[in-house]
Amino acid sequence: MSISNELVNQYPWLPSLRKFYKDTRELSYSEFISEIFSNTNNVQIAKRVLKIFEAAFNNLEEIPDKKNDNLNVHVYLLLKIMLYALNNKIITNRIANLYSKSSYNDMEHENSISNIYDICMDLGLKINSYDPPEPYGLKIVKDHREKLETNFSIHYIDYLSLASNLRDEYRKLTNNPLIDGYVFIQNKTLIRLIQEYVRNKLLIEETEDKASLKAFMKNVSQIQGFKDLYDNIKTLWENRKEEFDFTFKLDIKNKEEMLLSYPPCVIEILKKAEEGQNLVHHERLFIVWFLLALEYPVENVVNIFSTLPDFDKDKTTYQVEYAKRKNYTPYQCLTLKSLGLCMADKYKEEGELCREGYGSKDPVERKKIKHPLFYVQLKQYRSEREKEYKRNLAKRELEDSKKPNE
């Protein structure tokens, strides 16, 4: 099957890129970079790449003035090389999230289903398309009945491999109609799965091989255009990076103390969000309910989600406000354990209280932590007691120092 050049220009992460840009494939990284920066459009390409970084650092949900012309392929490849050069997990996640979201928006606005079908075929997915859409079920919510229909069904093996990172309940195979080995899914869900594929294409692991990276940088830094672009991105990042630390985003009084009081299950979710990793449904619910229970402002809770691949500010604000009105209680430890979200064993220091319990020196007598909010209370109580002990000790030492020598 052959797909159009225009489609590859618009979606340069498609496997057919190899076919259309065979010559590019044979170039080494530095040869490719040299070629880009000796190209008459090099300023345009560099500007577009810089714009993507700016948009990601500014938490935008779309790439401004994005054009889907033939320069798009160079932009995509240079973007990937730049991520390797920067070697920073947080930046990589942010770019991967923004870029994949932008591809999602483009696919969502495709006028015909044939382009989506071609994309799926190019990705090697076993897919059926229906025009007009095929009815496959009925959704009943209270008195409302909605006929479900779709243009696509996908082979369950492909469905499972695409959805493997998205552990949300509604994406489980058992929650989707399966007929003759094909899963019937809404067009939007299919596109969301492809978005995840795109995100993974950009998720270059941080390299441990610092020597190779150094040699690479030494080599490509001689190409002035690349060096300027790299330096610009670095400066942008240096100016903004503190804002991406969740300790700043939460912006609360005594934030350091508060962070010391978080249980491992909470730290893990905040770290994942900080790095722009996807959060599953239960992680999202738990962190919202937990932070609201500690009286975090809605805006700060919403901010935590701003790094996620599917962030939508209005929708998230509505959901967090709704949760605040409902005053939900965060999951208890037993529930978190059954959901695989207890991280007591992963965090050596913070998990000690969870693993060993409290209340007695005798391990048999010790009680187990049953709720993450209790963990916070206990940590704060202990910290207050320690402070008071230190205050009293200092007072006694002062009094002793004033006593005449015997």
Binding site residues, ligand SF4, CB under 6 A: 263-265, 333, 336, 342-344, 354, 369, 372, 375
H-run or E-run covering 140: strand 127-141
Q: Are 277 and 93 in contact (CB under 8 A)?
A: yes
Rounded to the nearest whole angstrom, what is the least distance from the CB of residue 2 to ligand SF4 in the complex?
52
Q: How many CB atoms lie within 10 A of CB 217?
A: 15
Helix axes 71-86, 210-220, angle to 10 degrees: 130
Listing from the earlier edge strand, what are the strands of the sheet with 144-155?
Answer: 127-141, 144-155, 182-185, 178-179
Rounded to the nearest whole angstrom, what is the least distance from the CB of residue 285 to ligand SF4 in the complex?
14
Rounded to the nearest whole angstrom, what is the least distance from the CB of residue 259 to ligand SF4 in the complex?
15
Rounded to the nearest whole angstrom, what is the least distance from the CB of residue 338 to ligand SF4 in the complex?
10
From the number of C-beta atoms within 10 Å of its C-beta (0-12, 13-18, 19+), residue 307 rates as buried
Closer residue to ligand SF4, CB minimum distance, 322 or 381: 381
* Four-point Cα dihedral 60, 42, 225, 219, nearest 10: 110
Closer residue to ligand SF4, CB minimum distance, 95 or 342: 342
Whole-angstrom Cα distance, residue 77 to residue 66?
16
Six-digit token string for 338: 């059954």
Rounded to the nearest whole angstrom, what is the least distance from the CB of residue 4 to ligand SF4 in the complex?
51
Whole-angstrom Cα distance, residue 154 to residue 150?
11
Rounded to the nearest whole angstrom, what is the least distance from the CB of residue 343 to ligand SF4 in the complex?
5
Rounded to the nearest whole angstrom, what is the least distance from the CB of residue 307 to ligand SF4 in the complex?
22
Nearest to 110 by CA among 191, 8, 189, 186: 191
Q: Are 169 and 281 in contact (CB under 8 A)?
A: yes
Closer residue to ligand SF4, CB minimum distance, 196 or 350: 350
Closer residue to ligand SF4, CB minimum distance, 90 or 378: 378
Whole-angstrom Cα distance, residue 223 to residue 280?
42
Closer residue to ligand SF4, CB minimum distance, 360 or 392: 360
Q: Are 223 and 78 in contact (CB under 8 A)?
A: no
Rounded to the nearest whole angstrom, what is the least distance from the CB of residue 341 to ligand SF4 in the complex?
7
Rounded to the nearest whole angstrom, what is the least distance from the CB of residue 334 to ligand SF4 in the complex?
8
Closer residue to ligand SF4, CB minimum distance, 47 or 368: 368
Q: What is the largest CA-CA distance in the chain?
A: 101
* 8-state DSSP, 307: G
Closer residue to ligand SF4, CB minimum distance, 98 or 344: 344
Closer residue to ligand SF4, CB minimum distance, 194 or 354: 354
**DSSP track, 314-344:** HHHHHHHHHHHHHTPPPPPHHHHHHTT---T
Whole-angstrom Cα distance, residue 249 to residue 244?
7
Closer residue to ligand SF4, CB minimum distance, 221 or 338: 338
Closer residue to ligand SF4, CB minimum distance, 173 or 334: 334
Rounded to the nearest whole angstrom, what is the least distance from the CB of residue 355 to ligand SF4 in the complex?
8
Closer residue to ligand SF4, CB minimum distance, 276 or 372: 372
Rounded to the nearest whole angstrom, what is the least distance from the CB of residue 291 to ligand SF4 in the complex?
14
The verdict on whether omega for the bond into residue 135 sits within 30 degrees of 0, i.e. cis, is no
Whole-angstrom Cα distance, residue 97 to residue 196?
9
